Amino acid sequence: MTDVKLSNAQIAWRAAQDIEDGAYVNLGIGFPEMVAQYTVEGREAIFHTENGVLNFGPAPKPGEEDWDLINAGKKAVTLKPGAAFFHHADSFGMVRGGHLDVAILGALQVAQNGDLANWRVGNKGVPAVGGAMDLVHGAKRVAVITDHVTKKGDPKLVDSCTFPLTGVGCVTRVYTSLAVVDIEDGHFVLREKLPQLSMDELRAVTGAELHLDGDVGELIVPEL
């Protein structure tokens, strides 16, 4: 297998291309936040954060933080014109009530039936779940961005999750460092792959069957 793979920035870039103009978007804490940097020119996305802000903008300059104006990752953010504040119950009403167009989350494992594991590796240490179990429900589209394999090289796209679940049958699309994969009717359906990568190479690092449905597109991403 070649060593070729997308960087995190490139995965985030690819995910950002699917965000429609006018979409309401929640980006999970950490890596998914990077997606906001690559919104497509000419399209406007409105970002939601669980702690009660709609239409927030990028981080302020260092030294200009207002720590009453933070996102769910407790990082300082800024406001765009047309922002709104609301309390936590209203905020998660937006989430569960199906008002978000897209939620983009990280993953430890994604199963071919759409199950997601992204909150806990095992049962050691202090468990912490945050808003992940709510975010996987309600958004019209729940997408995952992730490296295709773990640091050890184990597949993250799997038959069924072995880590504790965040949600059942909730993920609809996965953007990995190697491919774009949809989840349909309990199967992984390959939509795009890196052109440098053969189908056999991709299958070797994927933990469940990769179905095909028409042509597989080329996953081509700019240098970032």
Q: SS3 letters for 40-79?
A: CCCCCCEEEECCCEEEEECCCCCCCCCCCCECCCCCECEE
For position 166 contacting other proteins by CB under 8 A, the verdict is: yes
Nearer to other proteins, 8 or 163 (CB): 163
Nearer to other proteins, 97 or 217 (CB): 97
The burial of 218, by beta-carbon neighbours within 10 Å (0-12 exposed, 13-18 middle, 19 or more buried), is given as exposed
Q: Which of 41, 50, 192, 223 is catalytic?
A: 50
Give the number of residues in contact with other proteins, rule: CB under 8 A.
57
Near other proteins by CB under 8 A: residue from 1, 168, 199, 220: 168
For position 24 contacting other proteins by CB under 8 A, the verdict is: yes
Max Cα–Cα distance, the chain, nearest Å: 52
Near other proteins by CB under 8 A: residue from 2, 4, 7, 88: 88
50 as an active site residue: the answer is yes
The burial of 214, by beta-carbon neighbours within 10 Å (0-12 exposed, 13-18 middle, 19 or more buried), is given as exposed
Tracing tokens 């709510």 back to the chain, one arrives at 134
Binding mask 104-123 for other proteins (x = CB under 8 A): -----------x--------
Give the active site residues: 50
